[in-house]
Amino acid sequence: MSEWKKKRFWKTVSVAETPDGFEIRLDNRSVKTPSKVTLCMPTRMLAEAVAEEWEAQVESIQPETMPLTRAANSAIDKIMPQHAEVAALIADYGGTDLLCYRAAAPVELVARQAEAWDPVLKWSEEELGVALKTTTGVVYVPQPEKSIHTLNGLVHAMTPFQLAGFHDLVSITGSLIVGLAVSKKFLSVDELWFRARIDESWQEEQWGKDDEASETAELKRLSFHNAAKFHFLSSDRNYL
């Protein structure tokens, strides 16, 4: 569909298996992406979840309630034509990963970052073969060439649909390692979100919660969960 503000014009939503994957159909007509490409999913699990978003529309199409559809459009229209470029963009986060840049003070924050982030970096080294250096402050620290190479390989191996979800996991947190930890189910999505927000949580404790900031944080949390869901369903895996 090229116009998001249209009223609901269909009665039935279905998933049709085709040689190319699983299409979303409205009254047995294929849905199109904004670029006029058939909205076709790589797995039935993802297709059924996207179909549920279309079924949930009542009077008019509300894009903000259709995060999986938007991600699928992005995978087809934006990532498929430039898979290598998008993968490289995401992989670049490994060179400046959030978990590697630590506070120098106060000691309570230093300890909290270490408690939350060190186990994730240890998992990365032991399970992925990716060892990363940590530093204090924001001065750039080069990472081992072998680790960067491995990270690049892991990201480039993902399909366009997997990348669509993975991109948001990484960009929202600023951490490629957190994104991979979600993908590999090292910890729960909620737990990894909590660990990625150590700095923000600390600031809230020191200065109190701000309504606008809290609302923004909640929107990011929901986007993080939606990205994880899309990534897992694209791989034919259960979300939770």
- Quick count: other Cβ atoms within 10 Å of Cβ 239? 14
One domain for residues 126 and 51 = no
- Segment 19-45 shows an average pLDDT of 96
Q: Tens digit of pLDDT for each residue in 98-143? A: 999 999 999 999 999 999 999 999 999 999 999 999 999 989 999 9
Both 31 and 137 in one domain: the answer is no
pLDDT band at 59 (very low <50, low <70, confident <90, very high): confident
Domain range for 39: 1-65
CA gap 105, 85 in Å, rounded: 38
4 pLDDT above the threshold of 50: no
Same domain, 52 and 147: no
Q: Is the pLDDT of residue 1 over 90?
A: no
Residue 212 located in a structural domain: yes
> Has residue 73 been placed in a domain?
no
Give the mean pLDDT of 71-84. 98
28-56 mean pLDDT: 96
Residue 76 belongs to some domain of the structure: no
Model confidence, pTM: 0.94
Residues 90, 24, single domain; the answer is no
* 58 and 111 share one domain: no
The number of folded domains in the chain is 2
Would residue 239 count as lying in a domain?
A: no
Q: Is 11 among the domain residues? A: yes
Residues 60 and 86 in one domain: no
Indicate which CATH number applies to the domain containing 23: 3.30.2180.10
DSSP bridge pairs for 154: none
Q: Does 27 share its domain with 58?
A: yes
Same domain assignment for residues 41 and 107: no
- Spacing of C-alpha 227 from chain mean position: 4
Structural contact between residues 163 and 87, judged by C-beta atoms closer than 8 angstroms: yes
AA letter at 160? P
User: Do the strands 135-136 and 101-102 form a parallel or antiparallel pair, or are they unpaired?
Assistant: parallel
Q: What is the C-alpha separation between 167 and 14, in angstroms, rounded?
A: 28
Mean residue pLDDT of the chain comes to 94
| Cβ proximity of 30 and 21 under 8 Å | no
73-86 average pLDDT score: 98
Which CATH number characterizes residue 145's domain?
1.10.3580.10
Task: Return the pLDDT at 208.
Answer: 81
- Of the CA atoms within 13 Å of residue 74, those in its CB half-sphere come to 18
Instruction: Say whether pLDDT at 3 is over 60.
Output: no
The answer to whether residues 31 and 102 belong to one domain is no
Shared domain for 220 and 178, answered yes or no, is yes
Q: Could you tell me if 225 and 115 lie in one domain?
A: yes
Specify the pLDDT at position 234.
Answer: 97
The answer on 103 and 3 residing in a single domain is no
96 in any annotated domain = yes
Does the residue 74 lie in any domain?
A: no
